[in-house]
Structure 1
Amino acid sequence: MPDLHWTIPVARWSFWPASASVAPDIRFIDPMARRRLSALSRVALKVAHDCAASLPTVRVVFASRHGELRRTTDILCDISAGEPVSPTSFSLSVLNAMTGVFGIARGDRAPASAVSAGAQTLGYALLEAHAQYATDASSPVLLVYADEPADPAFGTIEDEVEGGALAILLDASAQTGRLECARTAFADAAAHAPFDADAATPARFATQSEAVRQCLDAKAPVQWRGPSSLWQWSWHEGA
C-alpha cells in the first residue's frame, strides 16, 4: 500500500473513558431501547450525541476492532449451554448495531458505514471519514470509535485496545482546527522519521486511540507504530 497523507476539518470532538465512575447520559434514546444496549453502544452513543445533537442529519463512520464481541460471546455461551438465544441480543450483536440505534433515535436516514481493521482500526476509520467528506462536503461526517478489550476466553490479544469511545465531527463550515494524518509503510521501524525531520520525535503511544486522543487534547504531534507502518497525527489551529 502506498504512503498516505490527509487532513480533516474538526468541528467538535468528544471522548468517554472506560474508567469513568458514572454511566454515560443517553437519555435521548427511548427507555425501552436504552435498557437493551450494551456498555459499548452506550459510550458510543454518548460521544456521538455530544458531537451531532444540533445537526439535523449526519453521515456516520463507526469503527471498532472488536465491536459487540462480548455480546456475541454471551450468545455462543448460551448456545453451548443449550439455552435459547434472545432475538434482541442477536440483532444487537452486529458490529454496527450502534449506528442503527443512533439513526432511529434521531430519525436520520443518512448513510452509515462500519470499519474494523485490527489494531489500525481508528487510523483507517479516519481515512474513510476523510474520503467520504472529501467526496461530498455538503453535509458533516461523524466518526465514532468505540472499543473494549476482548473476553479473557480469547486469550492474549496482540496490541489490545484501550476501552472507551471517541467521536470526531468533520465539518469545514464549523471547524476549530485541522487534524493532519499520515501513514507510512516501512521495513525497518527505526529507520523512519516523524513529519518534520528537524522537530523532536512525537510522543509514541501503545494504541491508536490513545495517540489520537492525546493529539486532540494536548494539541501535540503523536505517533503509533505497527509491525509494518508508522501512523502520525498532528493538530493545527484554525481553518
Structure 2
Amino acid sequence: MINFNIAAWRAWAPGLDSVADWRAWSQQPRTLAVSDSAPDVSFLPAMQRRRLSRLARMAFSVGWPLAEGVADLPLVFVSRHGETPRTFDILSDLGAAQPLSPTQFSLSVHNAVIGLWSIMRGETSEMTALAAAGDGLEHGLIEACALLNEGAPAVLLVITEEQPPEAYARWIDDVPFPYAVGLLLEPGEQWQLSLATGAPSSTGTRWPHALELVRHLLDERTSFQHAWKSRVWNWQRTP
C-alpha cells in the first residue's frame, strides 16, 4: 500500500482544458472527434515551442503550471506508446530510403520529453520516463511515492498519450483521444493505493486509468478500482 496527497492537478485533451470542461465530460464521457488541435504553450519562447511535438506540448501544458513556484521538483513521466507519430514518420522515411533526421530521432526516444523539460526549466532534479502497460498511472504513482519516501517534498507525475497513426489501429486500441494528466503529489494520507490480483469486484475500466482518475477527482468518489489484466488497483480517498 502507498499513501500520498494530490495537492493539485491539471488535464488537457482537444476541447477540454478547464475544470468546467472536464466536469462536463466526466458527467457524459465520450470519445472526442479526431483533431489536430494542440494545447497553448505560449509561456515558452517561440524557438523552444517549435521543437515540441503535440505529445510534448500536452505534457508541458499540464505540468508547467503545476511546477510554478516549486523548487527542485522531481518528475515522473508516463506514456505507454510515446511519440508514435514521430516514430511512424521515421519508419516511413526508412521505407522510402530517405535520409533520416538526427533531430527527429533524438526527439522520438521515450525520455525526450523529460530531457526537454530539464533543459527548458533548468531543472536538475531526478526524472524518470516510464513505458508501462495500461496501468501506467499506478506504476507512475509507485515511482513517485518512492521519491516522496526518499524525502522529496513534492513530485510531479505526468501521464500522456498521443493519438497513434491509423497504421497502428490494429495494435493500439487504448487511446480514445490525445490526453495529458498532471498530478502534483505530496506526502500525506489523503489517498491510499493498494494492489490485489484476481477479478475486480466490478467491470473493468472503460477509459484509460488517468482519465478515470480525473472523473473520480471531480465526482469526489471515496473508493474505486482500476483493473488491468490480473492486476486490480484499489483506490481509497479519506473523506
| 2:162 aligned partner | 148
The offset of 1:57, in angstroms, is 2.1
The offset of 1:114, in angstroms, is 0.9
Letter in 2 for 1:15: A
Q: Does 1:178 align with 2:190?
A: yes
The secondary structure found in structure 1 opposite 2:163 is coil
Consecutive unaligned residues in structure 1, runs of 5 or more: 194-200
- Quick one: structure 1 residues 203 and 160, their matched pair in 2 at CA, closer, same or farther if it must change by over 3 Å? closer
Q: Aligned match of 1:34 in 28, 49, 69?
A: 49
- Quick one: structure 1 residues 143 and 12, their matched pair in 2 at CA, closer, same or farther if it must change by over 3 Å? same
Q: In structure 1, what is the Cα distance between the partners aligned to 2:203 and 2:167?
A: 36
Q: Aligned match of 1:56 in 62, 71, 81?
A: 71
The offset of 1:166, in angstroms, is 0.6
Letter in 2 for 1:223: Q
Letter in 2 for 1:67: G
Letter in 2 for 1:179: W
**Contact 1:206–1:224, Cα closer than 8 Å, also in 2:** no
Q: Deviations over 1:115-149 (max 9, x none)?
A: 11121211111111111111223x32110111123
The offset of 1:168, in angstroms, is 0.7
| 1:6 aligned partner | 2
Runs of 4+ aligned residues of structure 1 deviating over 3 Å after TM superposition are 18-23, 201-206
Q: In structure 2, what is the Cα distance between the partners aligned to 1:179 and 1:18?
A: 29
Q: In structure 1, what is the Cα distance between the partners aligned to 2:173 and 2:143?
A: 22
The offset of 1:19, in angstroms, is 4.3
The offset of 1:203, in angstroms, is 9.1
The offset of 1:164, in angstroms, is 0.4
Q: What does 1:75-114 align with in structure 2 at a 5 Å threshold?
A: 75-114=90-129
Q: Aligned match of 1:224 in 201, 206, 226?
A: 226
Consecutive unaligned residues in structure 2, runs of 5 or more: 17-34
Q: In structure 1, what is the Cα distance between the partners aligned to 2:173 and 2:220?
A: 24
- Quick one: structure 1 residues 149 and 131, their matched pair in 2 at CA, closer, same or farther if it must change by over 3 Å? same
| 1:198 aligned partner | none
Q: Does 1:15 align with 2:16?
A: no
Letter in 2 for 1:213: V
Letter in 2 for 1:224: H
The secondary structure found in structure 1 opposite 2:159 is strand
Letter in 2 for 1:134: N
TM-score (norm 2): 0.82
The offset of 1:159, in angstroms, is 5.5
**Contact 1:67–1:96, Cα closer than 8 Å, also in 2:** no
The offset of 1:60, in angstroms, is 0.4
Percent identical residues: 33
For the aligned residue pairs, the C-alpha RMSD in angstroms reads 2.3
- Number of positions where the alignment pairs a residue of Structure 1 with one of Structure 2: 218
Q: In structure 2, what is the Cα distance between the partners aligned to 1:158 and 1:92?
A: 21
Q: What does 1:118-137 align with in structure 2 at a 5 Å threshold?
A: 118-137=133-152
The offset of 1:85, in angstroms, is 1.8
Q: In structure 2, what is the Cα distance between the partners aligned to 1:203 and 1:65?
A: 19
TM-score (norm 1): 0.82
**Contact 2:204–2:227, Cα closer than 8 Å, also in 1:** no
